[in-house]
Each structure stands twice: as C-alpha cells, then as structure tokens.
Structure 1
C-alpha cells in the first residue's frame, strides 16, 4: 500500500536576513517570538491587535506536516475570532459536540458537550494543525506591517539580561544576531530557549505509547470522538478515532507492553492494524496511509512562565496529555492571556508586574489541565496493574449500569476561571450576586441585538470584547451615567483602551441611543444583573470585577490595580 500526500499543500518560504551592522541587526525589536506554530502565531496576532509589532522566528520553511493538534475548542475559536482568523476554521473545520466509547463490541458511553441556544460557536471543531497554522498565517500576512515572519531561521543561543535579550540566529543565508526587549518562547516541547536557560519541566511522564496514523478514507460517518477499549482490532489497548476535513482520518492506538516502538511505526506493522480497525468499524472503502508517528503522554510544566525578559507559552511551558484535547487549546489560551499584558507593558500602560500575573494565572491553569489530563491518561492508558483493574471494572459495569459511565468521560477542555488571580477586583458586596460570572471567569455567551443609529443587528455578547477594558453597564433605557462617560473620555485621553457599553432589557428606539438589547430576556438573569450593575471585562474576555452600584472611582481603581499590581 502506497503512502498518499496530504490533500493540503503548504507554501514554502525562503529565509531572509535583515540589514546588519557587524553581524547584528541594525534595528532593536520590542518583541521577538520564537516558534511559528499555533501559539506563536496567536501571540503575534494578539500583539498586532494592540498595535504592537513583533518579529516571529520559525525554523521550518512552511506550516507543519502531519495532523498533530486536531481539536479546537469553543474557547479557542472565540479567541481566534477576535484575532480575525476564524472564517477558515469555521468553513473548513468539522464541528462536533460529543462522542462514543466502546468496550470490546459494546457501546458504554455516549457523551455530549455543553451546547445550547445561547452559543454562537460549536463546542469543538476537528481541524489538522497544518490547517490551523495556515489560517493563522493567512491572518498574520494581512498584518505584515506589524508581524515580521522570519522563516528558516533557527535560534542557536540566547543572552538574557535585565534590559532585554540578544538572540543568535542561523539561516541558510548566514548567521546574525538581533536585540530585543522581550522574547516569547513558543518553540515547542523541545524548546531551544528553555534548554538554553537551563530550565526543566516538572511532573509525570507516562510509559504508555501511542502510534498516531493519518489516513485518507471516504466515509459518510458523522464527526464525533470515537474511543475503543480492548477492541478486537487491538486487544488489550485503547484506540481513538477522529474524522478530519478532506477525507482524512486520525487514528491513535496504544502499543502493548513490550512492543518495540521503532518496529511499531513501520508501515508493514501499522497497515494491518488499521485495516483490522476499519473492518471492525464496518468501513469498507479504499484507504491509504498518509503520515505515521509515535506519541508518549507527559504531564509536565515549568514552575514559572516568566524568567526575566523571557516568557514561555504552549508546549515550551507545559506538556499536557492529548486526552481531553488540552494541548493546543491551552497554548492558545496562554497566547491570549500574554498578548494583551505584554502589549500594555510595551506601550508603557502597565508595569512589568502585569507579566507576573500571566505566569500566575497560566501556571494555575496548567495545573488544572494537568489534573484532568492525568485522570484521563490513567484511564486511557493505565500506568499500573491497579489502574488497569479499576478500568476493566468500570468498563464492565458500564455495560449495564449507567451511573458509572461518567467515569469513562474524557473531560474535554473548558475555559479556566482564575479564581485567585492577583488582578481580580475584590467583591465589595459579598453575597450580592447570586448568579453571573465571578471575577476571573470567562464571559459567558448570550445572543443580543446591537442597535446603532436606529439599525438593529443580531450579535452575541462576546462580540463586544475588543482589545480594551470594557465596562458592561446594565441600563434601564440605554443611558450611561455621566460619570462613566467622563471616565471613558479621561482614560482614552491617557491612551488607556477603555469603553463603556450599555446593555438594556428592553428595546429603546425612541431614545435614539446606541445600545445592546437583551432580546432573549436571558442576559440580565444570567448575570444576576439589575439596572446599574457593572461588569468590568479584561481584553481577553475574563471578568475583572463586578458591582451592583459601581462608581467611576471603582472602575478606575480596578483597572489601575490590575495594570500596576
């Protein structure tokens, strides 16, 4: 059986060397991002949204080869939409909302992720990493004035100082160095920057190994996550199957103890196992292998994501097991958290301490993700006889007892609430809110109607999140108190991005004021809000503070506390 090329063909990019002065780039940069994968591109786009330029260093000459990360969550789609890159994700990606698990030949779980009429985006889309990178790259190329991508450029060493860094680079056109105020390391699990600084990931590495295979197969089977425990095609192991765009299917199957990894990835050993799986699934169509690799689960993280002028994100900062699809999604969340904070520091709007909150929040998130990822890994690939015995008992009982089926659920990724963030504004009215997102939580979704100049259009609450601090003012009639209008003018005069947005429970066309109407009648209740309630939202969509009777001074204090904590 011959290997087929991917239906997707990546454009190749040449190396370029800037103007040099004695081997050093003449221009000093504000931000240099190392690694042009999903996380690095997301950081670059996030900075560009705030008007901050960056240089992006990428060792390869194109987007990646192989499916790699394949599941993009609703939260990641929300972030990507704010970056202006979501169209390709939504047009090409295959949406799904649940999955099925089988024990031998019996279905033991049919799970569904949260999806209701409030949502604009699907819970998850399947999209191979080469598509993910390409769509982000397309958006970055539209902002070439702010994002300078250097292909075929590899970091050979770094000199990190209190006032910035020097990166020594190798290209096919010759070596050179550049000076930069900040380095963002998004250079993957084998991070050159992490190694150069002598930093180590800490946590657990699991013995279980998975072969990952991409195949081309035409099938009308619906898109959902399929998990097979102890299947006839691979007895004693676990197999995961995901449908992707372009008739590409991703298959992950666990190697049994004692199997030689080098032999296991040889096509003559992979092809019979895949054929056996497809036969078991009832897929009779012709198929061809495209890509084969091997994976080992790790649950590891740095203890801090900030080291002076160097900041870490994505796999360079943490390695999360694939179960629950937290890898790329947590990296995109890292990028979203970091971009606005670094932009505010670069623009002189915040102290460097704001970047310490990036580390605090995202290390907390990593431990949350690792906790869930570890539980899923111990079920999917039991690390000991005791875990294997427990799994067999759960799977056997699940055939007849619905109450134990939740133990099989892979606990898909979800947005993290920064409950202990140093940025959160203290609740001045304890117990006053019986509902609504707490400080540190992501803004929940809800449909609304935007009324501008007498014209109404359908929208969603997250459409109101832009690269600034946003005060959502729950208004009786669309009016905003004079003190808040004055605050908006004052902060904008200080070049601090801020706006007040009124939300109303009723349509008020007669006021001829622009406002946002809760036409479903759910928004006010969802937020536990009444006229006069204010939710202050960060540029990344997390709630900074909330009040039932806020004064302009409360808003000012919360923002200045966050920026200069």
Structure 2
C-alpha cells in the first residue's frame, strides 16, 4: 500500500468573498490601481505601491494563499527587494539558505557550483521556502497596510473594457464575479498578475510568443526527516529514472521537493496517480541513501515554456509575472523575475499615480522588463535543453558532456544550471535621459569617465559599512541605506555644497518626489552624528564604485543606478530626476 497523504505543516487563513456597496451593480469608488492576482507578484506590487503612498485593490479568485510548494527558491536579488519593502524578516527566519549545488551522472559527481557569497553580503544567495509561505509572509505585511491595500477575496475577473483615453491613464472597467453577484469596478490603472492562464491577457486578445517544450516533470512534495544539507541536487540518468533527470531540494519543516522527468511514452495524467508516483519517489530516495520513513503531501505535473508578450503595457493595462512571461523553472527565474517586475513597476506606477511623472515612464517598465525576460528566457532555454533535451541532437550532446565531465573539467561548465542573477538595463532609455538631460550637450562623464563600478541600469553591489548611532559606530550594509525612493550617494563631505543639496531636497519634497541623500566618508573624523552618513572604513565601496571625493551615484527606487558623476552636484542630480520624471517615451530597449 502506498503511504497515506499528509497535510503541509502549515495552516492557512481563509477569507470570505465580500462585495462592496454597489450602485446599479457598480462600485461607485474608482480605484487608482487594481491588481488582478494575489500571488507573490501581485502582493509585492501592492506593497511597493503602498510604500509610495498609493492605494490599490488586490483581486484574488481564491479564498487563501496557494496550495502546493510551487515556487520554492528565492534569490538574493528578490530578498533585497523584500528588504527594501520592509518584508524580508519572515523569509530569513523561515527559509533555508544555500549557496550552491551538485550534479551527478549516474552515481558519479560531475559538477559542483557555488553562488557568490562573501563577508560583504547581508543576505544569502538563495533560500528555499515554499510559495504558500512566501504568500503568507507577504499577506501578513499587506494586512499591516490595510489603509492603503484592499483585498477582494473569492472574486474573479470576467471581462475588461478600457476607456478611449487609456494611454494617459483614462482607466478601465473590470467585470467581476463574487459568489452569485456580478459587479463592476473602475480603476485608473489595471495590472494583470493573474498567472500563466491570465484572464486579462485573454480578454485583450494578447498572445505569448516563444518556445514550448514537450518534456514534462512530475513534482512531488514529501515529508521526510533528514539532516542532508540544503543544496540543489541534480541527477542525470540515475537508477531511479534511467535516461532522464531528477532534482531534489530541501524545504523548511522537513518537506522535500522531488522533480523527476517523465519518459516521452508516459501519459502525464496517469503518471501523477499516487500508485505510479510512490514507487518512483521511493526509488529516488533509495538511490540517494535516504532510508527514513516518508509521506507524500502534494503531486503535480509541469511542462516548461519560454514565452513572453512583446510589450507589457497596453493602454491602462500592464502585465507582470507569469501573465507577462513564462520562464522555465530551471535556474529559478519564475517567481524571482516576477518579483523584479513588481519592483520595477511599483515605483514607476507610484510616481505616475502621484502625478509626479509622465505616464510615458510606464513604457520604460515594458522596455526594461521585456529585455530582462528575453535574457531570462535565453538562460532558461539553455538549462531546459540540457535538463530535458528536446531533440535527439541535444540528447546526444548531453550524453557526451556528462560522459566526459568526470575526467575533463573543461566541459563541466556546460552542466551549469545558470542560476538567476540581477539583470542590468544597460540600454534603458532612462539611462540616456538621466545622463543627458534636456538642454545638455555633453555627457557628464566625457571628461573623466568611470573605469569601474556599476554603470547606469545596473544593480548596486552589496558592501559592509558603518554609521554613527548615539556616538558609537553601528555595523550596516549598503542595502540598509537604500529605501524605496530616489537616493543620492554623495562621496565625501563638502560643507560648501550643503546649502545647494538642502535647497534641492526642499524643492523635491515640495513636489512630493521621494528622495534622500546619503553621504559616504572614508573615516570617522569626517563623519557627523547623522544616520545619513555612512563610513567606508575599508574603502571597499569606494573601490567597487570607482568613487573619489565628489563622486555622486543617483539610485532609482528599485536599487538600479540611474546616473553617476565623477564630480557630481545637486544641480546635476535635480536635472537628471526632472528629465526622468518628465520624459516623453520615443525609443525602446533593444
């Protein structure tokens, strides 16, 4: 007899579907932003908007967080985003950190990889945590912002109609169904975070394009008490799954995730029947030396897709996460790329709703995140074609690589799963607009260019720093200083410039533009008792950013570099911000 199913060691909360007071079947309250889909992407976006003071309504068809582990790997980049949004602690307390993994061919280890981790980092390169836990931690944070975030549970979208002026924020009307009640809601902006089978995408007649793979994987969560280390384990042609692959990941609470590839002649519906899954799982456990008792929890089947919309903005409707793109699971880019979508869109949509930016700024969301999706898809496709070869030629290549890898180190990098990494928007229109504001005829770095450091569009590197707190030094990291606002990193104290910086700050504050200045100094003697002054004792941040006294980096609210100057000034920063927020979109990212 197969083992009996056990519930997850997690008790979700359930919520009623409540319809607001209606007038003639319509909610009379027009929302600034309606987010369709209450998964990790939709929740992150609602939180990002709340940090900009923007009200939103989250529309979710279910009555609780998801079931099943689903997305289980959260990257350092995603953790940095959650840290900036004030929601990371639960993830760090519950998640299992890991730094690398191993790949085996039959019974021989043929590849080992490590992700970047050193003493400068404040966050692990990756944690394992189930999606239902991800959603619960985000939901807990959303409920702390109830004055700005409204959640409509058990409510489905059945249609959408945009107004004629939707490109300028003219809005859209959503057709909704809660229980037996059909009703309508108007919103200035609608963001579709409703997954791979997006109702909004279908209603607008939009299609994902790209590659769909035929290979399928069975995904099984089991309860198993084991002290095996947390790492990514990949098995090629193991005794438990001859000719195919198996992936094994440890999750919190003694839950283990096992993914195994089906043979081409196996029917997916039959393959997920418990009586067919249990012997395969037992064979996997036997082959890796796990002898403890175990119980199944959840079973599903997965098919890899590498698809994207051509554009993520369509009038007043924007797309994010799986509604915008479907990325293969290999390399863990699915949920992580969706969280990055939400981070990018959150500050831009917040600026537009708060009337401090042109709606054209939203087109750069599409430019940057379509570019990111295509880069993610290129890596994901390479990993997929190695993990589940789509043709005989790919299978022959993989067999040759695996056979040679034990004794020929040069071929081992071909086994690399190409884990997700931060993507630089090197050719973003925002870089050009900020670096060469209207009226400027010379690029700011033409005379004294940078030779190192993150270029505009890149994510800042992490670095250990100090700051004064009650007369003593407090250890911090650079990410502790980057809030969900524009941030100027000003290297070196120059009292003669303080008045200009204060005048600029006052002007930006009067226009409700979220902004702060952080001064970075090399020694404590230069520092004042000010939390906005950081001390770079080791000089590592100066070196990493190629900074000298007078250097200024302007950071976007999503942690990407907007502009930088070898000898910066408050006036240059203000011109760059003004140009960014008033830009007229005329070009796209290649």
Q: TM-score, normalised by structure 2?
A: 0.94
**Cα shift at 1:481:** 3.6
Give yes or no for contact 2:493–2:526 (8 Å, CA) kept in 1: no
Residue equivalent to 1:174: 181
Q: Per the alignment, do residues 453 and 508 of structure 1 end up closer, same or farther by CA in structure 2, a change over 3 Å counting? A: farther
* Aligned positions, number: 565
* More divergent stretch after superposition (166-175 vs 189-198): 166-175
Residue equivalent to 1:54: 56
Taking the aligned partners of 2:25 and 2:526, their CA distance within structure 1 comes to 64
Give yes or no for contact 1:478–1:504 (8 Å, CA) kept in 2: no
**Cα shift at 1:228:** 0.2
**Cα shift at 1:456:** 2.6
Taking the aligned partners of 2:363 and 2:143, their CA distance within structure 1 comes to 30
Which structure 1 segments of 5+ residues have no match?
Answer: none
Indicate which of 129, 132, 151 corresponds to 1:130: 132
SS at match of 2:429: coil
Give yes or no for contact 1:102–1:108 (8 Å, CA) kept in 2: yes
Over 2 Å off, 4+ runs: 425-428, 452-456, 476-482, 508-514
**Cα shift at 1:552:** 2.5
Residue equivalent to 2:464: 447
Give yes or no for contact 1:478–1:503 (8 Å, CA) kept in 2: no
Q: Does 1:526 align with 2:544?
A: yes
* More divergent stretch after superposition (124-133 vs 157-166): 157-166
Residue equivalent to 2:288: 281
Q: Does 1:471 align with 2:488?
A: yes
Q: Does 1:228 align with 2:240?
A: no
Residue equivalent to 2:391: 384
Indicate which of 434, 439, 442 corresponds to 2:451: 434
**Cα shift at 1:452:** 4.4
Map 1:363-512 to 2 at 5 A: 363-424=370-431, 425-426=434-435, 428-430=444-446, 432-452=449-469, 454-476=471-493, 481-508=498-525, 511-512=528-529
The CA deviation string for residues 31-67 of structure 1, in whole angstroms up to 9 with x for no partner, is 0000000000000000000110100000000000000
Q: Per the alignment, do residues 481 and 164 of structure 1 end up closer, same or farther by CA in structure 2, a change over 3 Å counting? A: same
Q: TM-score, normalised by structure 1?
A: 0.98
The CA deviation string for residues 285-315 of structure 1, in whole angstroms up to 9 with x for no partner, is 0001110100000000000000000000000
SS at match of 2:346: helix
Taking the aligned partners of 2:220 and 2:540, their CA distance within structure 1 comes to 45
SS at match of 1:175: strand
Residue equivalent to 1:147: 149
Residue equivalent to 1:98: 100
Q: Per the alignment, do residues 291 and 174 of structure 1 end up closer, same or farther by CA in structure 2, a change over 3 Å counting? A: same
Give yes or no for contact 1:17–1:173 (8 Å, CA) kept in 2: no
SS at match of 1:20: coil
Taking the aligned partners of 1:187 and 1:278, their CA distance within structure 2 comes to 36
Cα RMSD (Å) of the superposition?
1.3
SS at match of 2:214: strand
**Cα shift at 1:510:** 7.2
The CA deviation string for residues 245-269 of structure 1, in whole angstroms up to 9 with x for no partner, is 0100001110011111111000111
Give yes or no for contact 1:233–1:280 (8 Å, CA) kept in 2: yes
**Cα shift at 1:155:** 0.4
Taking the aligned partners of 2:580 and 2:316, their CA distance within structure 1 comes to 20
**Cα shift at 1:176:** 1.1
Indicate which of 577, 580, 583 corresponds to 1:559: 577
**Cα shift at 1:283:** 0.2
Q: Per the alignment, do residues 477 and 450 of structure 1 end up closer, same or farther by CA in structure 2, a change over 3 Å counting? A: farther
**Cα shift at 1:83:** 1.6
Which structure 2 segments of 5+ residues have no match?
Answer: 436-442, 584-590
Q: Per the alignment, do residues 510 and 520 of structure 1 end up closer, same or farther by CA in structure 2, a change over 3 Å counting? A: closer
Q: Does 1:348 align with 2:365?
A: no
Residue equivalent to 1:201: 208
Taking the aligned partners of 2:385 and 2:499, their CA distance within structure 1 comes to 57
